[in-house]
Amino acid sequence: MKGIRLDKVLAARTAKTVYRDGDYAVKVFNEGYSKADVLNEAHNHALVEETALDVPQIEALGMIEGKWAIVMDYIPGPTLARLMREHPENKQAYIGMMTELQMRMHAQTAPKLNYLRDKMSRKLTEARISPAMRYELQVRLDSLPAHTKVCHGDFQPSNIIIREGDGVPFIIDWSHATQGNASADAARTYLLFNLEGDFDSAEIYLKLFSQKSGASIKYVKKWLPIVAASQSVKGKPAEREFLMHWIDVVEYE
Ligand X SMILES: Nc1ncnc2c1ncn2[C@@H]1O[C@H](COP(=O)(O)OP(=O)(O)O)[C@@H](O)[C@H]1O
- 209 interface partner picked from ligand X, Mg ion, none, CB below 5 to 8 A per type: none
Query: Is the Cβ of residue 72 or residue 247 nearer to Mg ion in the bound state?
Result: 72
Please answer whether residues 150 and 181 qualify as being in contact, where contact means their C-beta atoms are separated by less than 8 angstroms: no
Q: What is the rounded CA–CA span in Å between residue 162 and residue 59?
A: 20
Stretch that binds ligand X, among 11-19, 46-54, 94-102, 190-198 (CB under 6 A): 11-19
- As measured in angstroms, the least distance from the Cβ of 16 to ligand X is 6
> Per CB under 6 A, does 149 bind ligand X?
no
Question: Exposed/middle/buried for 115, CB within 10 Å: 0-12, 13-18, 19+?
Answer: middle
User: Among ligand X, Mg ion, none, what does residue 74 contact (CB within 5–8 Å per kind)?
Assistant: ligand X
Q: Residue 10: name its binding partner from Mg ion, ligand X, none (Cβ under 5 to 8 Å by kind).
A: ligand X
16 binds ligand X (CB under 6 A): yes
Buried b (16+ CB within 10 A) or exposed e, 154-186: bbbbbbbbbeeeeeebbbbbbbbbbbbbbbbbb
Residues 64-103, interacting with ligand X (CB under 6 A): 72-75, 79
Q: How far is the CB of 141 from ligand X (least distance, A)?
A: 26
If phi > 0 it is left, if psi is from -120 to 50 it is alpha, else beta; for residue 3 that is left
* By the rule CB under 6 A, 9 interacts with ligand X: no
CA angle 76, 157, 236 (to 5 degrees): 120
Determine which residue in the list 95, 110, 141, 161 makes contact with ligand X, applying CB under 6 A: 161
Asked if residue 228 lies in contact with residue 204, where contact means CB atoms within 8 angstroms, the answer is no
Which residues from 150-179 bind Mg ion, rule CB under 5 A?
159, 173
- How far is 225 from 243, CA to CA, in rounded Å? 8
Q: Which does 225 bind (CB under 5 to 8 A by kind): ligand X, Mg ion, none?
A: none
CA dihedral 190, 194, 162, 112 (to 10 degrees): -40
**Positions in the binding site for ligand X (CB under 6 A):** 10-11, 13, 16, 18, 25, 27, 56, 72-75, 79, 158-159, 161, 172-173
**Positions in the binding site for Mg ion (CB under 5 A):** 159, 173
